[in-house]
Structure 1
Amino acid sequence: MTDVLGSPVSRNALLRLIAALSDPPVTEPRVFGVDEFAQRKGRIYGARRKGRIYGTVLVDVETRRPIDLLLDRGADTLEAWLAERPGIENACRDRAPSFAEGATRGAPQAIEIADRWHL
């Protein structure tokens, strides 16, 4: 999209700009989706694995809007985020062990759903 606008920018530069913004107010999602994203080695988010750094993106499935970025894709990080949001009813996720564990511990009341891309 930045190429179309005549201002090419790398995805990592955009993520750094977004991370520098203050967080807008977000209502607690009823249904959330979670997935990881990879960046090049040595960038701003997450834990290294196979020479890459991974973070987690959380999305309100009903509004289709991203609601948060987490620094890594660990179970403890997801659990802590979910524990602060007791109104979550459904968790849409892939079958990664860290997401399964984090969702189960952080939102035990939520029904967990495997998203269609990961079945």
Structure 2
Amino acid sequence: MHRPRTSIELAVGGEAGARLTGHLRMQTSPNTILCLVRRLPLPSVDRLRAVSIDDWAVRKRRIYGTLLVEFDRRCPINRLPDRTGATVTDWLGRRPSIQIVARDPSTEYARAAAAGASAALRVADRWHHILNMRQALERWLGRVHGRLRQLLTLDLHRTFAEVVAWEDGRLRHAGRVDMTRGGLESFARTLRADDEVVIEVTGNAMVVSHLLRQHAARVVIANPLQVKAIAHAHVKTDKIAAGVLANLYAAGFLP
């Protein structure tokens, strides 16, 4: 089986006054480099104050060990052959100087830290705190996403209005509405109680605003002086104009 090759470059220098200087390139494989790295001695540690415990994959989904990192120097100090509580408990028990043990949420590591370093402060590490908060936020957003407010912008014309929705930081074309009382009332009934609507000042903006306010949480009429980006745009379409309004409002540039 063909294995990828790589190279390592060594600096070669002569003694004082010698002209032999340059670089030597040797072909090798990634596995060879990993073997050499694994043979390097681990740093010696006299007294440990704080350590972090996490698992590491020897073979992903099949064989796992335990990695221990010293907080103060932020470097690995040992690798245990498995991730069982007994192995970690034994390692911690032989190091009474440890005052802080940070770990992942594994119950196996929790029991090992309690048994092997009962006097130490035991905490979940920062990376797993952030991961847990992100996962909790994603679960919450998944449950309430349908109830979150929606921002709609209308670019008004004499016979129709172009509608653009701003959701999750993205613009989505939401179609057109007929500029008739029936068309506007039908559109207004699709709004949710916490939706917000932005429209640009036109001759019929007040009528549209009055109809929509009965169904939306807020209706904002944008002053043309505040949306010069639309007036000065080199390419202007109804969708682009409505999209600019949505972005300006979402960024807080409209009242």
Q: Distance in 2 between matches of 1:16 and 1:34?
A: 25
> Once superposed, what is the RMSD of the aligned Cα atoms?
2.6
> Paired residue for 1:28?
47
**Structure 1 or 2: more helix by fraction:** 2
CA contact (8 A) 2:68 2:78 kept: yes
Structure 1 spans left out of the alignment, 5+ residues: 42-50
> Paired residue for 1:72?
82
The DSSP-based 3-state class of the residue aligned with 2:30 is: coil
The one of 109, 112, 118 aligned to 1:108 = 118
Overall identity of the aligned pairs, in %: 38
The DSSP-based 3-state class of the residue aligned with 2:64 is: strand
1:1-119 → structure 2 map (5 Å cutoff):
5=8, 7-10=28-31, 14=34, 18=38, 20=39, 24-40=43-59, 51-119=61-129
1:74 to partner: Cα distance: 0.6
Further displaced range: 69-78 or 23-32: 23-32
Q: Distance in 2 between matches of 1:89 and 1:15?
A: 34
Q: Distance in 1 between matches of 2:48 and 2:84?
A: 20
Q: Distance in 2 between matches of 1:92 and 1:15?
A: 29
1:118 to partner: Cα distance: 1.2
CA contact (8 A) 2:42 2:77 kept: no
- Count of residues in correspondence between the two structures: 106
Q: Distance in 1 between matches of 2:105 and 2:35?
A: 25
1:25 to partner: Cα distance: 2.7
**Compared with structure 1, are the counterparts of its residues 110 and 22 closer, same or farther at alpha carbon in structure 2 (3 Å cutoff)?**
same
1:26 to partner: Cα distance: 1.7
Q: What TM-score results when the alignment is normalised by the length of structure 2? A: 0.37
Moved over 3 A (4+): 3-8, 20-24
Q: What TM-score results when the alignment is normalised by the length of structure 1? A: 0.75
**Compared with structure 1, are the counterparts of its residues 17 and 105 closer, same or farther at alpha carbon in structure 2 (3 Å cutoff)?**
same
> Paired residue for 2:20?
none
Q: Which amino acid aligns with 2:34?
A: L
Structure 2 spans left out of the alignment, 5+ residues: 1-5, 10-27, 130-255
Q: Distance in 1 between matches of 2:119 and 2:56?
A: 26
Q: Which amino acid aligns with 1:39?
A: V
**Compared with structure 1, are the counterparts of its residues 16 and 35 closer, same or farther at alpha carbon in structure 2 (3 Å cutoff)?**
farther
Q: Which has the larger radius of gyration?
A: 2
